[in-house]
Amino acid sequence: MWPCSFVPCLFVFLWSLPMKRSDTAFQRCINPACGAEFDCMQAIFKCPRCGELLDACYDWDKIEVPRRMNDFGKRWANRQHRLDFSGIWRFRELLSFCPDEYKVTIGEGQTILQLNDSVAKYADMKPGRLYLQYEGLNPSGSFKDNGMAAAFSHAMMTEAKSCACASTGNTSASVAIYAHSCGLKCTVFIGQGRIAFGKLSQAMDYGAQTIQILGDFDDCMRQVQDVCSRLGIYLLNSLNPFRLEGQKTIMYRIIEQLGWEVPDWIIVPGGNLGNSSAFGKAFAELKQLGLIKQIPRLAIINATGAGTLTDLVNSKNLLWNNGQVEQKIIDDYYADLTSRHFSPRTCASAIEISRPVNLKKCLRAIDVCNGVVRAVSDEEICDAKAVIGRYGLGCEPASAATVAGLKLLRTEGVIAPDERVACVLTGHLLKDPDVTVGYHKDKKGRFSNPPVEAPNDLEKIVELVKG
């Protein structure tokens, strides 16, 4: 439970708008002992009654959901229609919380699933079995745009005027680009020295007010919630249930590109645990709607320097338990982090998070998807990243945790070599050039490819190029 002092300030989130209950969608507290329901016109982000997370929920009987997944694919033929062009809104019946006139798109979700036998070999998988879902192709270069298209639509629907987020970098870049297109004032909170330069440069260039806090992401996350509740600012972190609705579509696109079949495994990096939560919800709903027969298994990969989920699930046996999560295990764990002045550290700065806000939704996703959780070292992440770069489309360190995690799960025999696996590459290679240059230039790893110094002399250069 949240401290009592926290609950009253939640009410400040409520916009003073008429409470028009949508016919088809509403918000519901994930805590089954509470289960309070709220209109989608409220921007509340945590249950005002008990402080738990909220879900976007649907009266499916009132929504004309296509009978087969294939029907969504037909919209590709109608790409001059802005909602059919968007890789999020193409699936709009599955996230039907908002009238079309408020739906925001900047062309997100045109991402691809790449079959990659070279990376498969590295991870000890058979050819034809490993796919990389490349979310770096989004307008701001990361998967976040999936969530922002949906959350900014909600912001427009609720007449928000200004927005904010805490970020390890990608959220801030994505929020900044969408805020500009929606005409919202935008403030992003980042931890001093904790953000990759590619991402920081985006937030500044897209015109966001960038506040660097002397602390880590978890400090920023705490501050931004208080700032938003005090000033009535729209919050765009993954606490926002509408963001996760957009992120569900990453799974729809994977299925689409597999000819509307589900893979055996989805592997995703774990940071604030929004993606993993969204993926679990996506599959639970598709199964409920009869659109898929089988739910894939989910593997969530932490960096060892930010391994809260791994510790809680694998060492402390924390479970969803039908929503009766043992809060004491979490409280004790966080109290220990505080007493040790622990701050997470990993080269995968995107997932350098020790108090993931979506922890409980993620536990539910693990339950739904028979999921597993693992942590991989920075060295494993950097090696996997170099392999993905050499043979694939390139990605940032956090994304490479997926392939490093797959390699580990192959070693353990948890994943079989002939199972079909989709790793979600969450961010573009150019987001974090420092880690890449450091790895190659300083010959830090097995796959380092350092530049060769040459005198400004044609003959010597020709010798070098000949090898």
Judged by the rule CB under 6 A, the positions of this chain that interact with ligand F0G are 142, 167-171, 238, 269-275, 350-351, 396, 398-399, 426-427
Q: Which one, 170 or 436, has the nearer CB to ligand F0G?
A: 170
Q: Give me the residue label for tokens 């969504």.
A: 72
Q: Give me the residue label for tokens 């969204």.
A: 278
Distance, in Å, from the CA atom of 298 to the CA atom of 275, rounded to the nearest integer, reads: 11
- The residue type at 33: A
Q: Which one, 75 or 364, has the nearer CB to ligand F0G?
A: 364
Distance, in Å, from the CA atom of 432 to the CA atom of 443, rounded to the nearest integer, reads: 17
CB of 57 to ligand F0G, least distance (A): 20
Q: Which one, 220 or 409, has the nearer CB to ligand F0G?
A: 220
Q: Please give the residue whose beta carbon sits closest to ligand F0G in the complex.
A: 271
Q: Which one, 106 or 359, has the nearer CB to ligand F0G?
A: 359
Distance, in Å, from the CA atom of 271 to the CA atom of 301, rounded to the nearest integer, reads: 9
Q: Write the CA distances from 432 to 173, 347, 400, integer angstroms.
A: 13, 10, 12
Distance, in Å, from the CA atom of 56 to the CA atom of 153, rounded to the nearest integer, reads: 14
Nearest to 257 by CA among 107, 424, 386, 65: 424
Q: Which one, 225 or 238, has the nearer CB to ligand F0G?
A: 238
Q: Which one, 65 or 151, has the nearer CB to ligand F0G?
A: 151
Beta strands in 135-261 (DSSP E): 162-167, 185-191, 209-213, 234-235
**Backbone φ, ψ for residue 295 (5° rounding):** -95, 125
Distance, in Å, from the CA atom of 301 to the CA atom of 385, rounded to the nearest integer, reads: 14
Pair of tokens at residue 174: 């994505």
Residues 6+ apart with CB under 8 A from 465: none
Q: Which one, 138 or 158, has the nearer CB to ligand F0G?
A: 138
CB of 458 to ligand F0G, least distance (A): 43
Q: Are 138 and 108 in contact (CB under 8 A)?
A: yes
- The residue type at 234: Y
User: Cα 195 to chain center, whole Å?
Assistant: 16
Q: Which one, 113 or 429, has the nearer CB to ligand F0G?
A: 429
Q: Which one, 142 or 304, has the nearer CB to ligand F0G?
A: 142
Burial class of 3 by CB neighbour count within 10 A (0 to 12, 13 to 18, 19+): exposed
Q: How many CB atoms lie within 10 A of CB 81?
A: 12
